[in-house]
Amino acid sequence: MSVVNLFRAAAALPDAWSSRPLGEVGTACVKVLRMDELPVEEEAHGTAEVLIVLDGRLELSVEDAEVTVGPGEMYVVKAGVRHAVRPGSRGTLVIVEVPERSGIDGPLAADGLQGAGPPAPSPADQALQGTGHSG
């Protein structure tokens, strides 16, 4: 498979909220779509969905909670969970549909990754920052 530019793939879609499959990883299907500020009705799927916001933001209603997913963040919707897109969602979204038997769970708070941002530089990287080198 060749390199896929996710932003160009999303921009080439004929309509917002129409996803395009880009490939498969094992039993998971990777899709991209463009969000356009308009809401999407409540739905539930037979597979879990990993929702990754590349740019913009995704405004969700998941069961009785409101969830905002920003750039560089992901949210996992388990199979069968009812969710809807609230008005104001915009940008580029990657969806990874994962069959429930794959054992995906989220959010990743148990691993200390929720809201963590980019990884901290290693001691070697910190040492190089003072020398003008970039690794």
pLDDT for 55-97, tens place per residue? 999 999 999 899 999 999 999 999 999 999 999 999 999 999 9
Q: Which amino acid appears at position 8 of this protein?
A: R
**Cα–Cα distance, 124 to 101 (Å, whole number):** 40
Tokens representing residue 85 in the block: 């897109």
Classified as helix, coil or strand, 114 is: coil
**pLDDT tens column, 98-127:** 986 655 554 443 344 444 444 444 444 444
pLDDT at 50: 96
**Cα–Cα distance, 109 to 115 (Å, whole number):** 8
pLDDT at 99: 84
Instruction: Please check the confidence at residue 17 and state whether its pLDDT lies above 80.
Output: yes
Residue 32 region by backbone torsions, left for phi larger than 0, else alpha for psi between -120 and 50, else beta: beta
Least confident residue range of 28-32, 35-39, 92-96, 100-104: 100-104
Instruction: Please check the confidence at residue 132 and state whether its pLDDT lies above 70.
Output: no
Cβ burial of 55 (10 Å; 0-12, 13-18, 19+) is middle
pLDDT at 101: 62
Strand pairing category for 48-62 and 74-77: antiparallel
pLDDT at 6: 94
Beta bridge partners of 67: 60
pLDDT at 117: 41
